[in-house]
Structures are given as C-alpha cells and as structure tokens.
Amino acid sequence: MKSNLSPIITGTSLRSVLNSSSVIIIDAGSSPKAQENYQKNHISGAFYIDLNTQLSNIKEDAAKGGRHPLPSPEAFATVLETYGITPNSHIVIYDMFYGANAAARLWWMLTAIGHQKVQVLSGGLEAAEKAGISIDANNVPTPEKGYYTATTWALPTATIDEVASTVNLENGLVIDVRDTPRYNGKTEPIDLIAGHIPGAVNIPFKENLTEEFLFKSPEELHQKYTTAFEGKATEHIIIHCGSGVTACHTLLATAYAGLPIPKLYVGSWSEWSRNNRPIATLQVPK
C-alpha cells in the first residue's frame, strides 16, 4: 500500500514523532569532514550514513557511471540492516546542505526500493535546533541488526545514450540542477571540464528552497514544475547534476509537489564530460 506520508517533514513535526519506536534518524554525510561534523554535532540518537562509502559504488574511472554510481540494491539493503532498519521503519534524513546532497540521495534510494515511510527534514540540522530538538555530540547509538531485502531500483533512471537522444525529442526535457555559473561553463570546481549538455535547460536546485533554506510549499513547487514540464512526456524528463546526488533534491521536490518522479541520470555531468560527448557553454555578456 502506498504511503500518504509527505516526503518532507518540518522540525516541529519531527519533534512530535521522535519518541516513536519506529522512527530512525539518519545524518547523511557527503563532505570530506561530514563524519567529523557528525561527531561534533547531530540530532540526539541519529545514525551517520556516508555518501561515498555506503550510498555509492565509486569506481576508479568516473567515465564509467560518474563520480557517485549507485551500489547494487542488495548492497544497499545490507547497509540498511546495519542500522536496524526494516521495511516498517519510519526514516527521517537530514544533512548539512538543507537536503540538497546525501539526504535527498538516500531518500531517492529508499523510495526506489519501495520503502514507504521516508522523509527529509526541511532545513536540516539548523531546523531541528530551532524546533527545540536535542542536538549533541555524545549520544551515538548502537543499532540492532535489521532485516531488508531489495533486488531492483524501481524508480526510473537514464543512461548516457538516453540523455543524448532525449535532448533532441520535441517532448523530451533534460534539466541540469547545478548552479548557473557551472551550467554556463564559467566555472567548474569539481569535474574536469566546464559547460553543460547541449539542449539541457538549467533549473538550479536552490530554486526549490526559500530564502531561509526551507523547501517551498508543495503548491509553489507544483506550479513551478508543471510549468517547466509543460508539453513534455513524463517518460522523457531527465534530471541531472554533477554526479547524480544533488539531482535527487529536485526529484524530491517534484514528489513533494505531487508530481510523477522524473528519471535520474546517475552519471550526470561527471560521466558526460569524460566521454567525449558534445559540450556547450553560454557566453554571458560582461
């Protein structure tokens, strides 16, 4: 049965369900100092999950799948079990980037294996603190062994060849959620080459957030993406970023808006830019 639970939870709502035995809080880390930051400050009782080592199957050559390829569903299920997670667990995830990084990626992965009760904390750790939720450095729990079985990613993904063909479809749409300077090719702090996929449009993930770095309302997001998707076929809408992580923030936003979840191009720019594919830049007047 499909859950009616919103994919986004506020700090106030989280505080009201913290005492439930089914709730498991996850601090999802992605920066080089993520685990160190977790050890200094986290929601009391939260577990730490790492993007690079647990939510990705990083290979030596990023040209083959990008910088953060997905692990197998079976390997992911094993990770969940180490945290005492079962299919009945209510998972609440946060990160230091307002859900824009590993939290959204973990949400996508859980949703893609059919997990029903999973939410991302709008505003991250700061929102929890403002809601009066206990934050400390000492309460690091020891989980019991869980049980989980997963064999497939049920949410749609796109290959590099599919992206290349979709940009040429009249009813196709490829959205690049990276910051505009990266899309324009003016800067590239992570990957080897600056620019964007020719034909892709730029809708930065930050547009999903208010000035306070909270998710905009479902109504606002519904209007935004209904307009962006107008005239496009759902099966031909693809979202990408640098390495298939931040793109999940926009997939989360579309789900929060009550819209079908588009395809995720996991390899994203990190794969595209390493495969001798066409690259576009936008010349912006000085």
Residues 163, 272: contact at Cβ < 8 Å?
A: yes
Q: Which residues of the chain form beta strands (DSSP E)?
A: 8-9, 23-29, 42-43, 47-50, 90-94, 118-121, 135-136, 173-176, 201-202, 237-240, 263-264
Pair of tokens at residue 18: 């913290």
Question: Residue 96: which of 30, 177, 183 has the closest Cα?
Answer: 30
CA–CA distance, 124 with 130 (Å, rounded to integer) = 10
Which residues is 203 bridged to in the sheet? none
241 is catalytic: yes
CA–CA distance, 283 with 268 (Å, rounded to integer) = 22
Phi/psi at 263 (nearest 5 deg)?
Answer: -80, 145
CA distances from 108 to 12, 56, 130, 203 (A): 23, 13, 26, 19
Helix (H) or strand (E) holding 125: helix 124-130
DSSP string, 56-124: ----S-TTTT-SS----HHHHHHHHHHTT--TT-EEEEE-TTTTTTHHHHHHHHHHHTT-SSEEEETTH
Residues 259, 222: contact at Cβ < 8 Å?
A: yes
Q: Give every CB contact of residue 188 below 8 A, 6+ residues apart in sequence.
A: 182, 194, 195
Of residues 133, 241, 245, 264, which has the active-site annotation?
A: 241
SS3 call for 219: helix
Active site amino acids? 241
